[in-house]
């Protein structure tokens, strides 16, 4: 038999060259500078110089003057509220939120959910937020959920669509039943039959509205199918209540939990769980922020979210910055109260450095997404979600480059965004998504939901 030579076309790959690489991996550390090689949707190598690994099929990004970080992940976002930007700016009480924002929920048609989600997802990608837990507590029909999923598919952000279990406040048991049934079908279609970028999980009904009995049924379904869950944890004691019901595990991500006591934080830490904090909204809404420091100390892995664009910008850099400053403030207040003033360093004080915030938004957030072993670090074998932050023309901050990311960066500095090995933004511009389309989607929702109360339709383009 004659011998045949098989020529294989090399797999398309991407070489990010010459960046300051913050791998967020304890073994690899920082590379000053370094290269990241991506093959398919995974990172295949990280090192000081990978030029010899480039093939004819390799696209090379000259990343000098940038800081490479794992894609940022928002672990608590209500994308359906994105067109309501600013509507809750003056909000103060929980009732304000209900009357200004949440009551509009039932006016949203599936088209509105689609357009809002699309607009939010485009804005997140533009801002370097490659992954999100989209807490959609506006699934008033199966079509609404399908519309949200369609929007996520269109943008290609890495999303956990947390299917809202909370119907109308006077919802019937049948209203709950169709949601559970629909999730079962979507699990087959999206989780088992999809590309992995988009997944379906559960946004559990809040215990105070949905009852523990309902939430127990939701958790049972999620565990049967292996779905991630998240839950609004606003009134005190619910983490303990879940534990006492034998339901607490790391597959549930509580959001806020500002009232959690140290015992509850220890329960979360013991099961390997974490909390999604949304410090801008929580702080602005008068919540206690000492929980940030207590959670960090307890090892109840904090991650961060924007929560609602009705209150603040889609900007995780701002969330990291505020979280850092709040945690420093909590430490300082404790020192003052203990009579230790002026401030002095002592063991455990201050508790955190800027780099911890980047850990919250990458490593911890990946775990919250259920991808702790697959995402959140720039390391071989991990999914290739990468953000390059431009430090030019004004120059990088002195000292720890992670501090540049946390304290000196805005979404405007996001030069390049890669999701699952695909370049989505380059040179400061989205490649295959149009920001003006996102703006138009926002305006359509406003016109439909707010009618004559909608603000100026904006410039025609
Ligand atoms: Zn929320």
Q: What is the CATH number of the domain that holds 24?
A: 2.30.40.10
Give pLDDT, residue 169: 76
Asked if residue 294 and residue 174 are part of one domain, the reply reads: yes
Asked if residue 284 and residue 389 are part of one domain, the reply reads: no
Rounded to an integer, the average pLDDT of 72-90 is 97
Rounded to an integer, the average pLDDT of 425-447 is 97
CA 102-280-336 angle, to 5 degrees, is 135
Asked if residue 101 and residue 78 are part of one domain, the reply reads: yes
Is residue 11 within 8 A of residue 39, CB to CB? The reply is yes
User: Which residues are within 8 A (CB) of 202 and not within 5 positions of it... i.e. 6 or more apart?
Assistant: 162, 163, 165, 183, 218, 221, 222, 227, 228, 229, 230
4 domain-assigned: no
112 domain-assigned: yes
- As a whole-number percent, the residues of the chain with pLDDT over 90 amount to 90
Give pLDDT, residue 7: 55
Q: Is 80 exceeded by the pLDDT of residue 314?
A: yes
Asked if residue 149 and residue 39 are part of one domain, the reply reads: no
Asked if residue 180 and residue 37 are part of one domain, the reply reads: no
How far is ligand 1, taken at its centre, from the CA of residue 276, in Å? 10
Asked if residue 416 and residue 317 are part of one domain, the reply reads: no
How far is ligand 1, taken at its centre, from the CA of residue 400, in Å? 32
181 domain-assigned: yes
Rounded to an integer, the average pLDDT of 432-452 is 96
State the greatest distance between any 2 C-alpha atoms of the chain, in Å, as a whole number: 89
User: Which residues are within 8 A (CB) of 363 and not within 5 positions of it... i.e. 6 or more apart?
Assistant: 24, 70, 372, 376, 377
What kind and span of H or E run contains 137? none
CA 114 to chain centroid: 19
Give pLDDT, residue 456: 61
How far is ligand 1, taken at its centre, from the CA of residue 278, in Å? 8
Rounded to an integer, the average pLDDT of 90-110 is 95
How far is ligand 1, taken at its centre, from the CA of residue 271, in Å? 23
Asked if residue 227 and residue 86 are part of one domain, the reply reads: yes
CA 294-288-363 angle, to 5 degrees, is 45
Is residue 324 within 8 A of residue 407, CB to CB? The reply is yes
Q: Is 70 exceeded by the pLDDT of residue 144?
A: yes
234 domain-assigned: yes
Asked if residue 155 and residue 61 are part of one domain, the reply reads: no
Asked if residue 246 and residue 124 are part of one domain, the reply reads: yes
CA–CA dist 32, 277 (Å, integer): 31
Q: Is 90 exceeded by the pLDDT of residue 259?
A: yes
Give pLDDT, residue 459: 59
Asked if residue 191 and residue 152 are part of one domain, the reply reads: yes
Q: Note the pLDDT tens digit of each residue in 4-59.
A: 555 566 777 999 999 999 999 999 999 999 999 999 999 999 999 999 998 887 89
Q: Note the pLDDT tens digit of each residue in 156-176.
A: 999 999 999 998 877 788 889
- With the CA atoms of 399, 400, 402 and 404 taken in that order, what torsion angle do they form, in degrees rounded to the nearest 10? 0
385 domain-assigned: yes
How far is ligand 1, taken at its centre, from the CA of residue 309, in Å? 11
Distance (Å) of CA 176 to CA 218, 322, 393:
9, 38, 54
24 domain-assigned: yes
CATH number at residue 148: 3.20.20.140
How far is ligand 1, taken at its centre, from the CA of residue 318, in Å? 17
How far is ligand 1, taken at its centre, from the CA of residue 130, in Å? 19
Q: Which DSSP symbol is given to 307?
A: B
Asked if residue 174 and residue 31 are part of one domain, the reply reads: no
Give pLDDT, residue 57: 77
Q: Which DSSP symbol is given to 383?
A: B
Structure tokens at 308: 């609602």
Q: Where are the alpha helices (DSSP H) in 250-315?
A: 262-270, 279-284, 290-298
Rounded to an integer, the average pLDDT of 332-349 is 96
How far is ligand 1, taken at its centre, from the CA of residue 231, in Å? 9
How far is ligand 1, taken at its centre, from the CA of residue 85, in Å? 14
Across the chain, mean pLDDT equals 95
User: Which residues form the domain of 292?
Assistant: 72-368
Domain boundary among 368, 389, 414: 368
* Number of structural domains the chain divides into: 2
For 296-305, b/e burial (b = at least 16 CB within 10 A) is: bebebbbbbb
Give pLDDT, residue 1: 46
Q: Is 80 exceeded by the pLDDT of residue 99?
A: yes
Domain boundary among 316, 340, 368: 368
Rounded to an integer, the average pLDDT of 57-75 is 96
How far is ligand 1, taken at its centre, from the CA of residue 142, in Å? 21
Asked if residue 387 and residue 301 are part of one domain, the reply reads: no
Q: Note the pLDDT tens digit of each residue in 119-133.
A: 999 999 999 999 999
Establish how many alpha carbons lie within 13 A of residue 286's alpha carbon, considering only the half-sphere containing its beta carbon.
Answer: 5
Rounded to an integer, the average pLDDT of 126-150 is 98
Domain boundary among 368, 384, 399: 368
Q: Note the pLDDT tens digit of each residue in 350-371.
A: 999 999 999 999 999 999 999 9
How far is ligand 1, taken at its centre, from the CA of residue 307, in Å? 5
435 domain-assigned: no
421 domain-assigned: yes
User: Which residues are within 8 A (CB) of 61 and not within 5 positions of it... i.e. 6 or more apart?
Assistant: 14, 15, 16, 17, 388, 416, 423, 426
């Amino acid at each position: 038999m004659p011998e045949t030579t098989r020529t294989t076309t090399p797999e398309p790959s991407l070489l990010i060259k010459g960046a300051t690489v913050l791998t967020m991996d304890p073994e690899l550390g920082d590379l000053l500078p370094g290269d990241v090689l991506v093959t398919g949707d995974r990172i295949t190598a990280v090192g000081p110089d990978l030029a010899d690994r480039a093939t004819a099929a390799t696209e090379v990004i000259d990343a000098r003057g940038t800081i490479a970080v794992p894609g940022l992940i928002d672990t608590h976002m209500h994308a359906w509220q994105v067109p309501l930007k600013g509507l809750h700016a003056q909000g103060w009480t929980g009732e304000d939120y209900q009357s200004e924002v949440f009551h509009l929920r039932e006016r949203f048609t599936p088209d509105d959910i689609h357009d809002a989600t699309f607009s939010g997802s485009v804005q997140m990608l533009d801002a370097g937020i490659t992954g999100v837990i989209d807490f959609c507590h506006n699934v008033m029909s199966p079509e609404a959920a399908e519309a949200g999923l369609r929007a996520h598919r269109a943008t290609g952000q890495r999303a956990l669509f947390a299917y809202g279990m909370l119907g109308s406040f006077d919802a019937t048991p049948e209203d709950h039943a169709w949601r559970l049934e629909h999730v079962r079908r979507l699990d087959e279609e999206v989780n088992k039959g999809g590309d992995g970028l988009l997944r379906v999980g559960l946004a559990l009904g809040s215990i105070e509205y949905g009852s523990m009995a309902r939430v127990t049924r939701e958790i049972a379904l999620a565990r049967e199918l292996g779905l991630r869950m998240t839950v609004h944890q606003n009134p005190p004691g619910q983490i303990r209540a879940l534990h006492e019901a034998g339901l607490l595990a790391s597959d549930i991500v509580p959001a806020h939990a500002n009232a959690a006591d140290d015992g509850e934080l220890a329960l979360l830490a013991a099961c390997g769980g974490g909390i999604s904090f949304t410090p801008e909204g929580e702080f602005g809404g008068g919540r206690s922020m000492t929980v940030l420091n207590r959670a960090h100390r307890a090892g109840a892995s904090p991650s961060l979210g924007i929560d609602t664009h009705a209150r603040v910008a889609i900007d995780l850099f701002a969330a990291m910055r505020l979280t850092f400053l709040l945690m420093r403030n909590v430490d300082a207040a404790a020192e003052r109260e203990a009579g230790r003033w002026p401030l002095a360093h002592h063991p455990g004080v201050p508790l955190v450095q800027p780099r911890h915030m980047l850990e919250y938004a990458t490593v911890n957030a990946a775990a919250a997404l259920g991808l702790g072993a697959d995402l959140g670090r720039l390391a071989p074998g991990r999914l290739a979600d990468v953000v390059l932050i431009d430090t030019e023309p004004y120059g990088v901050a002195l000292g720890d480059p992670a501090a540049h990311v946390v304290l000196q960066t805005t979404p405007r500095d996001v030069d390049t965004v890669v999701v699952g090995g695909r370049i989505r933004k380059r040179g400061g511009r989205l490649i295959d998504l149009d920001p003006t389309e996102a703006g138009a989607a926002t305006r359509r929702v406003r016109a439909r939901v707010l009618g004559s109360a909608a603000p100026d339709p904006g410039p025609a383009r």
